[in-house]
Amino acid sequence: MKTKTDTDTSFEFTVLFVEDDDKFRTHFAQLLRGEGFEIVEANSGSQACALIRERKVSLVVLDWDLHNHKSNSSTEDHSTSLQVLQTCHEVDPLLPVVVISSELRLDPRDDSMMAGADCFLQKPFAPQLLGEHLRRWMGRVKAEKNPFTQLTAGIIETVDSVNRSYTRAVVDMVGSALQAAPKLGLSRQTVASYLASPGLS
């Protein structure tokens, strides 16, 4: 069951957990699922990038220490953690990335934050700490679904797109265009035209 807010039953929050230590990843994924989070797992950078490009994740937990493997079936190297982070930015500028690392000799905190990560957790950490971070980010992600926020961020390019998105959101909330029209202060014909217009991908 996907994690949803109490006030918006249509809001879904899916976490992509990218970690090549299978034991660590499956353990934390199981604990987070027990807290109600929807978790998708990836054990390589290339697998993570593919899932991110499908635009089905709301937040990425990224191990900064991913190994740069070379596939036996391909001449191309798998994506590194930095490439995963870059893919996140290319696909969705608002997609939050929480970087985790056990590296002590280098400074993955500075490196990952300079590369655009939103948060950093040093391993080992308590499962409750990661869960609390995810709950806070869930609230922020929900706020960023607001079409006016997306307009400011450049995801939506025109005010007309904002109007269409807002109209669709109200219709989804109340259940029909007929009920949404008076709430929006629009005629049923105008609401219908917004609903018929090309929407967000």
pLDDT digits (tens, 9 = 90+) for 68-91: 544 443 333 334 899 999 999 999
Single pTM value for the model: 0.64
**Cβ proximity of 45 and 76 under 8 Å:** no
Intervals of the chain under pLDDT 50: 1, 4-9, 69-79, 199-201
Does residue 2 sit within a domain? no
Residues 90 and 136 placed together within one structural domain of the fold: yes
Per residue in 150-181, pLDDT (tens digit) is 555 555 556 566 677 778 888 888 888 888 88
Does 122 fall in a domain?
yes
Residue 100 forms beta bridges with which residues? 63, 121
- Give kind and range of the element (H or E) at residue 52: helix 45-53
Q: Could you tell me if residue 96 is inside a domain?
A: yes
Q: Which domain holds residue 192?
A: 148-196
CATH of residue 95's domain is 3.40.50.2300
Distance CA 165, CA 162 (A): 5
Asked whether residue 96 falls in the same domain as residue 182, the answer is no
